[in-house]
Amino acid sequence: MSLITPNASTSDRGKSKSDELRVVAYNIDMLFPGLYIWVGSLVFRLGGQEPDDAPYRYPGTVNSKYGIALVLPGYKIFTTYKGSFDNRSTM
């Protein structure tokens, strides 16, 4: 269980909003069970995990200012986000 907000702890210090949204995109894309909520610069993540950046950095991001996603075991996903995880997309 983790609560992630910008500069919430020593390990999170230095993470930008785009890094937090990249973590959310990674977890939704990989279907890791959890609850993900993002509103402006606040990101709440219950479950999931940090991106595995080996052998390359996960390039995706969430291209929305707000949203909610619930990923359940068994690959069931419910989300308000309907956009692409492409980091070059804009909304």
Helix H, strand E, coil C: the string for 30-68 is CCCCEEEEEECCEEEEEECCCCCCCCCCCCCCCCCCEEE
Tell me the torsion sign for CA atoms 35, 40, 30, 47: negative
Q: Which two tokens stand for residue 89?
A: 């997309």
Predicted TM-score (pTM) of this structure: 0.73
The chain-wide mean pLDDT, for the chain, equals 80
Res. 4: pLDDT tops 60: no
Q: For 7-41, how does the pLDDT look when each residue is reduced to its tens digit (9 = 90+)? A: 343 345 567 888 899 999 999 999 999 999 999 88
Q: Which two tokens stand for residue 55?
A: 């052998």
Q: For 32-80, how does the pLDDT look when each residue is reduced to its tens digit (9 = 90+)? A: 999 999 998 899 999 999 998 889 999 888 888 899 999 999 888 888 8
